[in-house]
Structure 1
Amino acid sequence: MTDQAIIKTGGKQYRVAVGDKLRIEKLTADVGANVDFAEVLFVGAGADARIGTPLVEGAKVNAVVRSHGRGKKLIVYKFRRRKNYRRKNGHRQPYTEVEITGISA
């Protein structure tokens, strides 16, 4: 089993391993830039796993920004019956796609 980690970014938690590509909440980094995630909640695998309380001391996950984009369109529709009230909105959530390059404890 490869080294794994659980990181926290954008208010969400992700389980990652080296080589994984994932979409996270938008970061301000440029495409091709290196990003470090210092909020590591869990690192390791098997007997040498370390669980943070709440964070693992000195652990960090390195990643490279691959692209920025916007998710698929979601329709937000508000409706009140018998009140002649209707509101229709669209929403596309921005994201950043990163590739995990290293996990260090």
Structure 2
Amino acid sequence: MYAVFLNGGKQHRVKEGQIIRLEKLDLKIGQRIEFKKILMLSDKENIKIGKPILSKCYIEAYIDNHGKHKKIKIIKFNRRKHYKKTQGHRQAFTDVKIKKIFNN
């Protein structure tokens, strides 16, 4: 069984037991979270598609880890203008472990 849900403006396809990396969530490690914006739900035989969201379906998950991605460099440069600007960015993330997909 797998589900597609919406979080942070992005769609994620998950199944039970999977660990996914989402944008930073302000929750503590080990805390329970429910995702209620389920767009699609599928098992071996049946597929349910929401219009746009399935009601009475949700995903139970737990916060597994917080961290930051590798640093990326942003370079702005204009030739012959004596202009060069560098900047770095590290995007924060949260790892979430999917425990159960509820299909009511």
TM-score by length of 2: 0.94
Alignment correspondent of 1:7: 5
Structure 2: which 5+ residue stretches go unaligned? none
Alignment gaps of 5+ in structure 1: none
* Identity of matched residues, %: 36
What's the counterpart of residue 58 of structure 1? 56
* Cα offset, 1:82, TM superposition: 2.1
Instruction: Give 2:21's match in structure 1, choosing from 20, 23, 48.
Output: 23
- Residue 42 of structure 2 corresponds to which residue in structure 1? 44
Q: Which residue of 2 aligns with 1:70?
A: 68
- The structural deviation recorded for 1:11 is 1.5
SS for the counterpart of 1:47 is coil
Runs of 4+ in 1 over 2 A off after TM superposition: none
Q: 1:58: Cα distance to partner?
A: 1.3
Q: TM-score when scaled to structure 1?
A: 0.93
Query: Cα distance, 1:80 vs. partner?
Result: 1.7
Can you list the C-alpha shifts for 1:35-67, whole angstroms capped at 9, x where unaligned?
A: 101111101224311001111111111101011
Structure having the larger proportion of residues in strand: 2
RMSD: 1.0
Secondary structure class of the residue paired with 2:45: helix
2:80 aligned partner: 82
